[in-house]
Structure 1
Amino acid sequence: MTGALPFPNISPELFSISVAGIEFALRWYALAYIAGILIGWRIAVALVRRPVLWRAETPPMSAEQVEELLTWIILGVILGGRLGFVLFYQPGYYLANPAQILAVWQGGMAFHGGLLGVIIAMALFCWRNRAPVLTTADMLAVATPPGLLLGRLANFINAELWGRPTDLPWGVVFPGEMAQACGQAIGEVCARHPSQLYEAALEGLVLGALLLWLAFRRGLLKRPGMAAGIFVAGYGLARFLVEFVRQPDAQFVSEGNPLGLAWHVGGYGLTMGQILCLPMLALGLFLILRARRP
């Protein structure tokens, strides 16, 4: 295959040290989580410290409460992301191997599960602290995209969640036996869509820049629920589109279902990622329409 781009030789580990014979490593993926949370926290604090951005100049909480909420959000992301992967993508395997559910260091997190975890954590925090749910959701919506951007870049560095085979000039030759299993002729390499970068650009960069501009320049936060609606619908739409070129999870691929569709009739259908995006699109549009009411 001509014109394919070689995968950059970047180690998944930023650095590693050995202490008393035990190896400790900082991986880019972990750093992405940490940096995304810290950046999101600073954005949220900046928002609540500007009362003029909010309806009736009333932020949903104080800067100190944002720090408390952060702990709840971290738990929601980790627990929800892991359980979402277990339930949505490999329930049979984990039902047979329940001890593996806790093995988060082996990978396996689902954004849709993480989103549900964050929603539940946010709702519990708001109930406990009597904070308004919609404006809190708006604050989190504006603060979240940088974490998505960094997370998808880390996926690329880890050479995981790559796309379907492609002949386009920006196709990337990802390493690994599975990434190179495209049915190509012996001696040829398999280039794939860098779908992680597509998602980083759409879900992180474009959606994030739009929400920041609308929040700080166009009075977005004066309409409770609007920012949350734009985020949920925007992510759902971006992910739905990228799923067309993203390689589906192996458990959905078979000889009779080479496209890995979780639901299909004949040769047409939807991947699991697309199915999970449909309620996001519906919820996002509902929040947007609700926020537009006078």
Structure 2
Amino acid sequence: MQFIANAIDPIAFRFAGRDVRWYGILIGIGIVIAVWMSMAEAKRRQIMPDDIIDLLLWIVPIGFIGARAYYVIFEWGYYSAHPAQIFAIWNGGIAIYGGLIAGLITLIIFCYYKVLPAWLVLDIITPGVMAAQILGRWGNFMNQEAYGAKTTLSFLQGLHLPQFIIDQMWINGAYRQPTFLYESFFNLIGLIIILALRHKKDLFKRGEIVLSYVLWYSVVRFFVEGMRTDSLYIFNTIRVSQALSAVLFFVVIGLFIYRRRVTKPEWYLAGSGLKYPYHR
């Protein structure tokens, strides 16, 4: 027999009269993990960790702005009528793709002015970005958002999920597909694969770690997005994230093929990554 479960309070605690939400806490922890992972890899790749910190000081806030702007643009029908909600990011409503696009543009400009190899810097920060993204999906879980279609209690129990996840999936009078979990889980698999292979000698060319991530995520997001009930749409028919995932998939495949035909040795990154190290 199904029952109405008690949802987790999205507010973790109150501080100085303001609500502190799990959503923000988890995103904050994800950023800290991303910084730590990126700095550790920067030392290995002979990039100054201070440059990574400087980059992240720009890329994090601009990425958030891009993620929010992306979401607001595709939900303009609502936000044009509720302009005060545009800045209420603590209630959720950010789009990962928007953040990635804004972050990429920021990184390219930053690397140009710092005279840093952009492909190498992207490879350095990619695993940290993945880790933050994986953790951030649990913020969606706390907010009971980014979920899928109605399902049954027996289906969720058949996935052998912890009871607290099953309870949290009771949303608007029905159990829902935990699409946040599917995306988080498969991105974790992708992160493990990348961490296991990124230092294999002569396996990757410079830039192929970030391209591998985009390729992996575009596939994961395409299928998970098709299960969600809160997708952003173009013309009320095409899911924005699915369309962008498909475009990215084919673009990255094309980049892999093209770049593999270019044999400039300075593009090599794999193994220790120090065959052609970058020096300040």
Tell me the residue number matched to 1:66.
52
Q: Does the aligned pair in 1 maintain the 2:92–2:140 contact within 8 Å?
A: no
The amino acid of 1:242's aligned partner reads V
Please state how far the C-alpha of 1:262 moved relative to its aligned partner: 4.1
Tell me the residue number matched to 1:77.
63
SS at match of 2:12: strand
From 13, 16, 25, the counterpart of 1:15: 13
The amino acid of 1:15's aligned partner reads F
Alignment pair present for 1:42 and 2:26: no
Deviations 1:116-137 (A, max 9, x none): 1111110111111011111111
Alignment pair present for 1:33 and 2:19: no
Alignment pair present for 1:135 and 2:156: no
The amino acid of 2:115's aligned partner reads R
From 213, 226, 229, the counterpart of 1:231: 213
SS at match of 2:192: helix
The amino acid of 1:272's aligned partner reads V
SS at match of 1:82: helix
Q: Does the aligned pair in 2 maintain the 1:231–1:284 contact within 8 Å?
A: no
Q: Does the aligned pair in 2 maintain the 1:48–1:62 contact within 8 Å?
A: yes
SS at match of 1:160: coil
Tell me the residue number matched to 1:146.
131
Q: Does the aligned pair in 2 maintain the 1:165–1:192 contact within 8 Å?
A: yes
After the TM superposition, which residues 104-143 of structure 1 pair with which residues of structure 2 at under 5 Å, given as runs? Answer: 104-143=89-128
Q: Does the aligned pair in 1 maintain the 2:7–2:170 contact within 8 Å?
A: no
Aligned CA distance change for structure 1 residues 283 and 66 (closer, same or farther; 3 Å): same
Tell me the residue number matched to 2:245.
277
Please state how far the C-alpha of 1:67 moved relative to its aligned partner: 0.8
Please state how far the C-alpha of 1:63 moved relative to its aligned partner: 0.8
Tell me the residue number matched to 2:196.
213
From 223, 228, 245, the counterpart of 1:241: 223
Please state how far the C-alpha of 1:169 moved relative to its aligned partner: 1.7
Deviations 1:206-237 (A, max 9, x none): 111111112244555x5111011111111110
Q: 1:261, 1:245 → 2: CA distance? A: 19
Aligned CA distance change for structure 1 residues 5 and 240 (closer, same or farther; 3 Å): farther
Aligned CA distance change for structure 1 residues 94 and 26 (closer, same or farther; 3 Å): closer
Aligned length: 252
Compute the TM-score of the two structures, normalised by the length of structure 1: 0.76
Q: Does the aligned pair in 1 maintain the 2:27–2:139 contact within 8 Å?
A: no
Tell me the residue number matched to 1:186.
none
Q: Does the aligned pair in 1 maintain the 2:4–2:170 contact within 8 Å?
A: no
Compute the TM-score of the two structures, normalised by the length of structure 2: 0.80
Please state how far the C-alpha of 1:33 moved relative to its aligned partner: 1.4
Please state how far the C-alpha of 1:6 moved relative to its aligned partner: 7.1
Aligned-residue CA RMSD in angstroms? 2.6
SS at match of 1:191: strand
Aligned CA distance change for structure 1 residues 7 and 282 (closer, same or farther; 3 Å): farther
Please state how far the C-alpha of 1:175 moved relative to its aligned partner: 4.3
SS at match of 1:245: coil
After the TM superposition, which residues 51-62 of structure 1 pair with which residues of structure 2 at under 5 Å, given as runs? Answer: 51=45, 59=46, 61-62=47-48
Please state how far the C-alpha of 1:91 moved relative to its aligned partner: 2.4
Please state how far the C-alpha of 1:96 moved relative to its aligned partner: 4.9
The amino acid of 2:196's aligned partner reads W
Q: 1:6, 1:286 → 2: CA distance? A: 49
Percentage identity across aligned positions? 28
Q: Does the aligned pair in 2 maintain the 1:226–1:291 contact within 8 Å?
A: no
Which runs of no fewer than 5 residues in structure 2 stay unpaired?
A: 158-165, 264-280
SS at match of 2:214: helix
The amino acid of 2:156's aligned partner reads W
Q: 1:156, 1:119 → 2: CA distance? A: 26
Q: Does the aligned pair in 2 maintain the 1:261–1:272 contact within 8 Å?
A: no
Q: 2:65, 2:155 → 1: CA distance? A: 39
Alignment pair present for 1:170 and 2:156: yes
From 165, 171, 186, the counterpart of 1:202: 186
Tell me the residue number matched to 1:102.
87
Deviations 1:171-229 (A, max 9, x none): 746345xx33xxxxxxxxx22111111011012x1111111112244555x51110111
